[in-house]
Amino acid sequence: MNPESLLIARAAESIRKKTDFIPEIVLTLGSGLGAFADTLKPVCVLDYAEIDGFAVSTVEGHRGRLLFTTLEGKRVALMQGRVHLYEGYSPAEAVRPLRTLASLGAKTLFLTNAAGGVNFSFSPGDLMLITDHVSSFVESPLRGENLSEFGPRFPDMSAVYSPELCDKVRKAAKNASLSLKEGVYLQTRGPQFETPAEIRLYRALGADAVGMSTAVEAIAARHAGMSVVGVSCISNLACGMTDTPLSHEEVQETGRAAAKKFLALVRESIRLF
């Protein structure tokens, strides 16, 4: 058996020993949104450290817990914190939790993250529906021997973000009277923020927002046949667009300030899924 497949199977088994909850939806909470998980009454909570093969995030604002709960009548696995490539983890390690949850039955991935706005029409605190991504600057999570139990060697990426689910998020925004931007998310390697020249390059390539997490997760989930949808909280305007230097504190602070409307959108979307 492929060593990665074995690690995923072990991780699934160590979750199964603790709960028989079968998640339908995986909801990944980005920077500043983790506090949402503290407001829920989960059926089961597992620290990543308790799950064989799950890496623990070293980043401030990423707690590292998996919660199983029912949200708006749907069975949801909430990832409170994720690991990033810049922490030194391989793309395969970064997506191991997702693949584990896919192997436990999850069919939908709802990604949330904090991202820098590249599009001049965006403002900090805006919510952006991710309609597509650029992952060309990061290593693929599918590199190496194909895990054929999840999907094919050369998976199609023509509609990574499910058009049906995107429509539901648009409808949810309307129902909740929230304004929703849309755009292309470009994943950078990090951990350093970009330079002004890099931001000009990414804008020329069609990016509307930049971040350090999400595209590899979306790729692995599509490979595994999951339906994917994602929303970014624009925590700041990207480097060179204002005179202020960027900081992780600013990213977290805007995330916290926008958390209420972000979570209203997430809840209403999940209700419609």
- Which residues are at the interface with ligand HPA (CB under 6 A)? 114-116, 188, 193-194, 210-212, 235-236, 238, 246, 251
CB-nearest residue to ligand HPA: 116
Cβ distance to ligand HPA smaller for residue 61 or 97: 61
For the chain, the maximum distance between any two Cα atoms, rounded to a whole number of angstroms, is 53
Q: Is 87 a catalytic residue?
A: yes
Nearest residue (CB) to ligand HPA, 7 versus 219: 219
Nearest distance, CB of residue 140 and ligand HPA, angstroms: 19
Active-site residue (options: 84, 89, 119, 202): 84
For residues 102 and 186, which CB has a smaller minimum distance to ligand HPA in the complex? 186
* Triad 80, 85, 91: Cα angle to 5°: 95
Of 119, 213, 232, 269, the catalytic one is: 213
Task: Give residue 260's region: left, alpha or beta (phi > 0; psi -120 to 50).
Answer: alpha
3-state helix, strand, coil in the chain (%, to 5): 35, 25, 40
Identify the bridge partners of residue 186 per DSSP, sorted by sequence position: 134, 210
248 noted as active-site residue: yes
C-beta separation of 13 from 103 below 8 A: no
Nearer of residues 103 and 232 to ligand HPA, judged by Cβ:
232
Question: To the nearest whole angstrom, how small is the minimum distance from the Cβ of residue 213 to ligand HPA?
Answer: 8
**3-state secondary structure (DSSP) of residue 99:** helix
**Relative orientation angle of helices 248-272 and 163-175, to the nearest 10 degrees:** 100
In the set 14, 86, 159, 253, the catalytic residue is 86
| Rg of the chain over all Cα atoms, to the nearest angstrom | 17
Active site residue 223: no
What's the min distance (Å) between Cβ of 191 and ligand HPA?
Answer: 9
Give the pair of three-digit tokens for residue 48. 């990543």
**Residue 62: active-site member:** yes
Annotation says 31 is catalytic: yes
**Cβ distance to ligand HPA smaller for residue 34 or 211:** 211
Of the candidates 11, 79, 114, 226, the residue annotated as catalytic is: 114
Distance CA 269, CA 256 (A): 20
Give the nearest distance from C-beta 240 to ligand HPA in angstroms.
Answer: 10
- How far is residue 23's CA from residue 75's CA, in Å, rounded to a whole number? 5
127-134 and 227-237 strand pairing = antiparallel
212 is catalytic: yes
Q: How far is Cα 176 from Cα 192, in angstroms, rounded to an integer?
A: 35
Question: 161 forms bridges with which residues in the sheet?
Answer: 228
Task: Find the catalytic residue in 4, 11, 57, 62.
Answer: 62
Which residue lies nearer to ligand HPA by CB, 15 or 233? 233
User: Whole-number minimum distance, CB 73 to ligand HPA, in Å?
Assistant: 32
Minimum Å distance from CB 203 to ligand HPA? 13
Catalytic residues, by residue number, are 31, 62, 84, 86-87, 114, 212-213, 236, 248
